Structures are given as C-alpha cells and as structure tokens.
Amino acid sequence: MRKIIHIDMDAFFASVEQHDHPELRGIPIAVGGAEHRGVVCAASYEARRYGVRSAMSGAEARKRCPHITFVPVHFERYKEVSAAIHSIFHDYTDIIEPISLDEAFLDVTENKPGIPLAVDIAKELRRRIWEELGLTASAGVSYNKFLAKIASEERKPNGLCTIHPDQALELIERLPVESFWGVGRATARRMHQLGIRTGADLRARSLQELQRHFGKAGQTFYDYARGIDERPVEYERVRKSIGCEHTFETNTAEPLELEQRLLEVLSDLKRRLERRSFRGRTLTLKLKFADFSVQSRAYSAPHLLEEAELEAEALTLLWGVELSGRSVRLLGLTVSNPPEELRPGMWVQQWLDFDPASLELKLL
C-alpha cells in the first residue's frame, strides 16, 4: 500500500511576511490588494477571522477589516522559501508533486531514511520546516492523494492528521460533496439538485447514474466515494501551454487601445515562448469584462504557429469579438497544442511558473 503525504503551508505568503517582519506578527495582514483595483493574494489567520480571504478585492478586505495592514507581494522571497521547503522534502523522497509554491504531495512508500511510518516522516517534515524556516505547515497522511489532501484540511492550521484504510469509508460518508476533488460550485449545485450532499449520498448512486450526469468525472466521483484514487504522485509535468495575461489599471472599450494592449500582452508571450522553446498549433484569446464575465476565442492551425503569425492571428481574434459597448479589464493570450514529439524535453514544475503579473486571474 502506498504512503502519501500532503503538505500545505499555513497562510504561506502572509506567514513569510510575518516571519520576516516581526512587527506584523499577531495582526491582520493581507499580501497584495492595497490599490483600488488590487486583489488579495494571501491573508493572515488574524485577517481571516474577519472574513478576508485570497481573491478578494483590496477594497472589500478593507471594508471587512478596517485596521488591516496591506503588504506588497515579494514573490522572489516566497519562491526562495518554497525552494528551501522542497530541499527538506528531498531529504526524504524525490517523488514530489508540487501543486503550488505552498503545497505538495510526497510519495514516501520507499523513503531515503528508511522510516517505516509515513506519519513519522510527516512529523519530521513539520518539525524541520518550523525549526529551519520558522513556518508552520499542515500535513495529511493516507494511502492515496485524495485522502491525504482531505487529511491535511482536517486540522489546519499547524496540524497533522492520518486517515487509515479502516477509517476512510466512515470519514468519506460525512464529507460534504464540496470537499471532493473536482467538485466546484457548478458541480456541487448539480449534485444538490440530485439530492447528493454528502459522501454517503454519492456512494449510494450507481456508476451509470454518475456518468450520465457528470460524464467522465462520474467515474472519479464513484471511486472517491469508495476511497479509491489510483493517481500517482507525478514528480514531472509536461508543459502543454504557455500564456500571458494583463489586468488593466482602468477598463477600456476603445478598439485602438485594446489593440495596443493586446500587442503588449503578445510581446510578453513571445518572450516566454522563446525562453521555454515552446511552440504550438493553437492560439487562444481571453477577455475579462468589467462585470467579470469572460469570453474566449481560439484559432488552430494545421501547422506549428510561427512567431510572425501570432500578431495577425491575435488581432483577428480580437476583431472577431463583439464588444457591444462592454469595457475590458483583462486581456490574455495562450499558445497550446504542442506536437507530441516536442513534449519529452519540456518537463517543468508548475510551481516555478507562477506569474505574479497574472495573479488576479489565477486567484479568481
């Protein structure tokens, strides 16, 4: 049986700031979000007590907690601390799947120190992260990724929870469906309409019924309800797309201004494509409007897109959007659909590709 640990750093960005700046300890802080159009990318636990959370506008955070302190984003520092955390992980296993800068799965079935119990490794990881970096982490231990992540949420912050095989089904029965991986707001709403609110409700439904309502995801939900998750800890990722997005300081509906801003996004995208030696067949344009609705348009070529083609195709996609007087707050471009033969040399870790300039879209 596999031994999987899920590590989730507690309020990571905010905790790093409080560690580096003792005067911020014990008070509500928000990382980012101070400007009129800013977005909170992390909130300390002191701020969360007032309902402040990531992806909230800075204005709303100030409204909920008038005495909150806003701190600028120091992404390079968070990346440095994340690398130090992963260095600790590698003392125990190299089978590590980074989910983000502050979250990862570790497969410790066979581990470097030869420690027999995964819970003991989790205890060591949390102890070392605290002693060496001054930060707290929550850990979940179980026999698959789904349950390890559920376990890490059970005793946050600064907690440790193990879900043994003989406990799994009883725990899953009590879980609200919102806790299941892959169940977002829309899926939860559909489940509620079907009378599915807990893991027990989900387990009572047949595979055929779940597939009829949820397609391929039906098999996944059927398995999760029975404590089954065969996904391995993937310690290498294949890059399938590269994108770039800009959020504007002020919204605009002017076609010429949108064209200029699109070219600025394209310029950044070209640099990223060159840096990663990435090419693809599909170009996707994304627009977010003032009301936060999103519209996308895509062009796929029968060949790999050349750099010289990107500008013409991007503008063509933009011209094809019917604005109807709506103003735009964000533009994004993504190149995807690389050929299979190019993929083996493109292993990347997603946590290294986080772009603070695109923070709003990634958090919303």
Please tell me the class of the 1-162 domain. alpha beta
Give tens-digit pLDDT for 183-204.
Answer: 988 899 999 999 999 999 999 9
Average pLDDT over residues 297-324: 91
- The β-bridge relationship of strands 237-238 and 347-348 is antiparallel
Domain ranges of the chain: 1-162, 181-224, 237-348
Asked if residue 157 has a cis previous peptide bond (ω within 30° of 0), the answer is yes
Give tens-digit pLDDT for 21-38.
Answer: 999 999 999 999 876 668
Q: At what angle do helices 207-214 and 185-193 cross, to 10 degrees?
A: 130
Angle, CA 185 vertex, CA 182 and CA 186 arms, to 5°: 90
CATH architecture, range 237-348: 2-Layer Sandwich (3.30)
Beta bridge partners of 7: 104, 139
As a whole number of angstroms, the distance between CA 223 and CA 241 comes to 29
Catalytic residues, by residue number, are: 103
- Residue 239 pLDDT class (50, 70, 90 cuts): low
Inter-residue contact 333 to 286 (CB < 8 Å):
yes
- The β-bridge relationship of strands 160-162 and 237-238 is unpaired
Give tens-digit pLDDT for 316-341.
Answer: 999 999 888 899 999 999 999 887 64
- pLDDT on residue 33: 80
Domain at 181-224, CATH from 1.10.8.50, 3.60.15.10, 3.40.47.10, 1.10.150.20 = 1.10.150.20
DSSP string of 182-227?
T--HHHHHHHHHTT--BHHHHHTS-HHHHHHHHTTHHHHHHHHTTT
Average pLDDT, rounded, for the chain: 89
- Residue 342 pLDDT class (50, 70, 90 cuts): very low
Give tens-digit pLDDT for 38-94.
Answer: 889 999 999 999 999 988 889 999 999 999 999 999 988 999 999 999 999 999 999
Q: Which pTM was predicted?
A: 0.69
- Residue 237 pLDDT class (50, 70, 90 cuts): low
pLDDT of residue 287 exceeding 50, the answer is: yes
